[in-house]
Amino acid sequence: MGCATPPAYVKPQSDLPTAWQSELPWRAASPNDLQPKGRWWSVFADEQLNRLEEQALSGNQTLAAASARLAQARAGVGVSSASLFPQVTLGGRVARQKISANRPLTNYAVANLETTQSDFSTALSASYEVDLAGRVQSLVDGAVISAEQSAADLENTKLVLGADLAFNYFNLQAVDADLDVLSKSIALQRRFLTLATYRHDLGATSGLEIAQQQAQLDATLAQVDLLKRQRAVFEHAIATLTGTPAPRFSLPARALPTVFPNVPVGVPSQVLESRPDVAMAERAMAAANAQIGVAQAAFFPSVTLGPTVGTDSNQWESLFNAPSLLWSLGVSVTHTLFDGGRTKSNVEFAKAGYDVALANYRRTVLTAMQEVEDGISGLLALERAHAQTLVAVQSAAHLLQIATDRYEGGIASYLEVVSAQQAQINSERQAAQLAGQRLVGSVFLIKALGGAWQAPGVANY
């Protein structure tokens, strides 16, 4: 342990609530719920989503870059750790040289002579910095912590990637469900248009009913074109996330699932252990703390041992004879006497960097709490709204049937039928959209809870 060590690092404690502001019938997590779940997206029981997620893990370039950064950080640990050991070098030299007779004299009583001779030499040298001030150890600690931070960054990239893919996937499915509703509505509207035309041809109605139904049909067809454009955007995003060129990628339309996953939620303090971005922010604090030790070490002398052993001879045959042996043992001590306050400023800079990391950590924790609360309250609201909308769908279908019967019986205007059609379309589209939002909301909550991430081991590199 060196003379100057960084301040003892203590993981900061956050003032966290003991429970979420959830409403019944929200289910709290049981102990088994908190066990590792592997691929978190499997809770949606969608084989196509599972395949896309696995494809993204192997083909996404953002994830590939994060993996490369982790490999760099782990290699950096090896570079820093090497400073804890002596550096040994082996060298040799073979030269044929001529010395000038006209070189400056070193002794006025002896004349210089011209000589031509060979020089053969070998040298085995070692250099070792005695870590009295703890500078090297602080560098090693910082490198290890940075590798841990990169590991958390990789897991966070995986989590964000998986969530982004699921967001786009379920949004695309919601659009498909919306298109399916419009397709059925178009078929119904065309049937009513045929009926209105037939009644007009019989002279039972004016051309107004045909115009009303045609306008309704044209508006619905326009909505289809807009939804197809929206679907293409989601499909192209999925292609990029999976590492596939968008022109070569397509997904068939699939119905929205009718069963929604139940996402278990633990206590708020468990979020700090489950979110990789929180772990990454905490490791950034530890790395900043190690940098304080590096800066403080500059206040102390630097001591380096430099032994050398070798041979030197003007003939190859005698290079390894005892008289050719040479050696040296030296200690180099360097200490800064005056630097204009540079070292002190570097320490203050490192301490300020730690304060920045601390503020970022606390901000990350607060954001995590907010996202989980948003996810819980949002899912509860969406669940209630979806249930009510399903009731509204039934009511709208009943209303359309009554309006149709009244119109065919000649006791109601066609405007009632048009209004009932629009009410049914709106209710069915809203139900499809809310179903998609419930799935997206589940993904958002899983992401807010950290997915299935576990702090990876980083002891061995």
174-193 pLDDT per residue, tens: 999 989 888 888 888 888 78
| Residue 48: domain span | 31-85+132-300+341-448
Q: What is the DSSP letter of 449?
A: T
pTM of the model: 0.79
Q: Is the pLDDT assigned to residue 32 strictly greater than 60?
A: no
- Mark whether 267 and 398 lie in a shared domain: yes
Place of tokens 């203590």: 10
Higher pLDDT, 217 or 33: 217
The CA distance from 36 to 453, in Å, is: 8
Q: Is the pLDDT assigned to residue 36 strictly greater than 50?
A: no
Of the chain, the percentage scoring pLDDT greater than 90 comes to: 31
Q: Is the dihedral of CA 292, 293, 294, 298 positive or negative?
A: positive
- Mark whether 205 and 96 lie in a shared domain: no
- Domain CATH number, residue 306: 2.20.200.10
- Mark whether 328 and 372 lie in a shared domain: no
394-426 pLDDT per residue, tens: 998 898 899 888 877 878 777 788 788 888 888
- Mark whether 90 and 160 lie in a shared domain: no
Residues 84 and 143: beta-carbon distance below 8 Å:
no
105-122 pLDDT per residue, tens: 888 888 888 888 888 899
- Mark whether 47 and 166 lie in a shared domain: yes
Q: Is the pLDDT assigned to residue 386 strictly greater than 70?
A: yes
Lowest mean pLDDT among 8-12, 49-53, 427-431: 8-12
- Mark whether 199 and 294 lie in a shared domain: yes
- Mark whether 270 and 395 lie in a shared domain: yes
Residues 59 and 244: beta-carbon distance below 8 Å:
yes
208-236 pLDDT per residue, tens: 878 888 888 898 899 899 999 999 999 99
Helix (H) or strand (E) holding 331: strand 331-334
Last residue of a domain, one of 289, 318, 334: 334
133-164 pLDDT per residue, tens: 888 888 898 999 989 889 888 988 998 999 99
Place of tokens 């066609």: 414
Q: For the packed helices 414-448 and 207-241, what is the interaxial angle rounded to 10 degrees?
A: 10
The pLDDT value recorded for residue 270 is 67
Last residue of a domain, one of 334, 357, 383: 334
84-106 pLDDT per residue, tens: 899 999 999 999 999 888 888 88
Among 144-148, 235-239, 319-323, 447-451, name the most confident range.
Answer: 235-239
- Residue 30: pLDDT band by 50, 70, 90 thresholds? very low
- Mark whether 382 and 314 lie in a shared domain: no
Q: Is the pLDDT assigned to residue 48 strictly greater than 90?
A: yes
- Mark whether 124 and 140 lie in a shared domain: no
- Domain CATH number, residue 288: 1.20.1600.10
First-to-last C-alpha distance (Å) of the chain:
22
322-346 pLDDT per residue, tens: 889 998 988 999 888 888 899 899 9
The CA distance from 193 to 201, in Å, is: 12
- Mark whether 240 and 326 lie in a shared domain: no
The pLDDT value recorded for residue 372 is 86
Which two tokens mark 85?
């050991």
Residues 213 and 414: beta-carbon distance below 8 Å:
yes
Number of domains in the chain: 2
The pLDDT value recorded for residue 276 is 87
- Residue 18: pLDDT band by 50, 70, 90 thresholds? low
Is 16 a domain residue? no
Q: Which of 26, 11, 3, 7 is nearest to 358 (CA)?
A: 11
Average pLDDT, the chain: 84
Q: Is the pLDDT assigned to residue 25 strictly greater than 70?
A: no
Q: What angle do CA 448, 449, 450 make, to 5 degrees?
A: 90
- Mark whether 323 and 416 lie in a shared domain: no
Residues 381 and 441: beta-carbon distance below 8 Å:
no
- Residue 457: pLDDT band by 50, 70, 90 thresholds? very low
Higher pLDDT, 413 or 307: 307
Please state the rounded mean pLDDT for residues 339-355: 92
Q: Is the pLDDT assigned to residue 26 strictly greater than 50?
A: no
Which two tokens mark 228?
């197809």
Is 20 a domain residue? no
Of the chain, the percentage scoring pLDDT greater than 70 comes to: 89
The CA distance from 66 to 276, in Å, is: 13
The pLDDT value recorded for residue 385 is 93
Q: Is the pLDDT assigned to residue 62 strictly greater than 60?
A: yes
- Residue 27: pLDDT band by 50, 70, 90 thresholds? very low
Strands (E) located in 100-216? 115-130
- Mark whether 40 and 92 lie in a shared domain: no
- Residue 58: pLDDT band by 50, 70, 90 thresholds? very high
The CA distance from 461 to 456, in Å, is: 12
Last residue of a domain, one of 313, 334, 355: 334
